[in-house]
Structure 1
């Protein structure tokens, strides 16, 4: 059963300007291992976190670090949920989180499907 779906797109250059203009934004949005990624990858990960929040119903009180995109050995991105995000997902009956990331032509996008 599908519990929620979310999608988000990010203009990579504009996102990069925001990160440069506000130096504290990177550590606030990303875990240390995420923050090491190139700009297009960061924009896609931000889009994924936004898409996840939308799929969860866009509640307040979620912490950015509680939804981390990690890569499997194959390179496939997956969410590692903890804290506030894991608690909400559990309360909604989420058994699986599917995520797809893309970036091309200056746009990063992500889609998230929550399955019960």
Structure 2
């Protein structure tokens, strides 16, 4: 059963200007393993983190690094959740978080669906 859905869009040029103007954003917004990626990929990850917050419906105590995006062997993205986000997801009974990201034509977009097993309540 779907618990929440989130979507976010990031303007690539605006995101690049923000990172150029404030280089510390890389450290504040991204986990160490994410920081070396191209800006278009970072923009997609930022959109994904925003979309996750919308899907789970709470950001109490959350830091940006609590939501790390990783890829499997086929380059499919997923979240590695830490600290407050991990706690919120567990409290809400969320068992699966689906993530899709893309970038094209000057924008990055991410879509998140949070769900729980019918059997888990």
**Equivalent in the alignment of 1:57:** 57
Q: Could you state the TM-score of these two structures normalised by the residue count of structure 1? A: 0.97
User: Displacement of 1:79 after TM fit?
Assistant: 0.4
**Equivalent in the alignment of 1:42:** 42
**Equivalent in the alignment of 1:93:** 93
Deviations 1:25-81 (A, max 9, x none): 110000111111101100000000000001111433211111100010110001001
**Equivalent in the alignment of 1:83:** 83
Secondary structure of the residue that 1:36 maps to in structure 2? coil
User: Displacement of 1:92 after TM fit?
Assistant: 0.3
Runs of 4+ that moved beyond 2 A = none
Quick check: which one's helix share is greater?
1
CA distance in 2 between counterparts of 1:43 and 1:22 reads 15
CA distance in 2 between counterparts of 1:59 and 1:29 reads 14
**Equivalent in the alignment of 2:112:** 112
Secondary structure of the residue that 2:57 maps to in structure 1? coil
After TM superposition, list the pairs within 5 Å mapping 1:20-31 onto structure 2.
20-31=20-31
CA distance in 2 between counterparts of 1:45 and 1:62 reads 16
Total equivalences in the alignment: 116
Larger Rg: 2
**Equivalent in the alignment of 2:119:** none
Secondary structure of the residue that 1:7 maps to in structure 2? strand
